[in-house]
Amino acid sequence: MSEEGREVTLALLEPGDIFGELEVLQDSPRDTLAEALDDSQLCVIQKAQFLSMIHRKPEYSFRLIKLIGFRLKKIENRVEDLVFRDVHSRVALLLLQFSKDYGRAVPEGIQIDLKVTHQEIANLIGSIRETVSTILGEFKKESLITFEGRKIIVVRPDLLKEKAGSFPISSVSQE
């Protein structure tokens, strides 16, 4: 969060994911926030316990390095998108990524089973809510998407890909 109160969302985490791993390796205070979009259960591990676990099981260090590398790559891809894509392309790309990660086939198209607000979308793509709302409205008018309550259904992924531009959807995987 900036001093002016603007937010940027760095990642959406899934059940079983960890966060705050960098704070364990640094001696500085935490400078990021985490916010649950749904009811959540958390397991908190104190820094001393976490470091002790890593010392006892060195393979955890390797897995932690892989996780940090994976997240760094995802953030690098997002920075590339911010620099090289306009907001329409970033919204289209995010909807395609959500379709891939959280989508399921329904008669109308691909329903994104993730309830996100226009503000949360804006935070993920480095924009403002009003712009995202306008673009989603345009996409709906063009019959690229539709809404089922708070859920988005991608009706024309082929045309959404055209809007996203020539860069491929991120194929970074944690495996």
pLDDT tens-digit profile of 147-162? Answer: 988 899 999 999 999 9
pLDDT at 18 > cutoff 80:
yes
Residues 118-154 have pLDDT tens digits of 999 999 998 999 999 999 999 999 999 999 888 999 9
Q: What is the mean pLDDT of residues 83-112?
A: 93
Q: What is the pLDDT of residue 35?
A: 81
What count of residues does the chain have?
Answer: 175
Is 12 a member of any domain?
no
Helices 87-102, 157-164: crossing angle, 10 deg rounding: 140
- Residues 91 and 78 reside in one and the same domain: no
* Listed residues 39, 65, 82: the one ending a domain: 82
Over range 98-110, report the average pLDDT.
94
Find the CATH number of the domain harbouring 159.
1.10.10.10
Helical residues (DSSP H) of the chain, grouped into ranges? 21-25, 47-56, 58-84, 87-102, 118-125, 129-141, 157-164
pLDDT tens digits, 79-93: 887 888 899 999 999
| Residue 31 placed within a domain | yes
| DSSP state letter for 86 | -
Residues 74 and 10: their CA atoms lie apart, in Å, by: 9
At 43 the pLDDT is 87
Range of 31's domain?
Answer: 21-82
Instruction: Select from 48, 82, 116 the last residue of a domain.
Output: 82
Residues 94 and 70 in one domain: no
Q: Which residues lie below 8 Å from residue 78, measured CB to CB, with a gap of 6+?
A: 10
User: What's the pTM?
Assistant: 0.74
Inter-residue contact 163 to 144 (CB < 8 Å): yes
Count structural domains, the chain: 2
Taking 70 as the threshold, does the pLDDT of residue 173 lie above it?
A: no
Question: Poorest-confidence range of 34-48, 111-125, 156-170?
Answer: 156-170
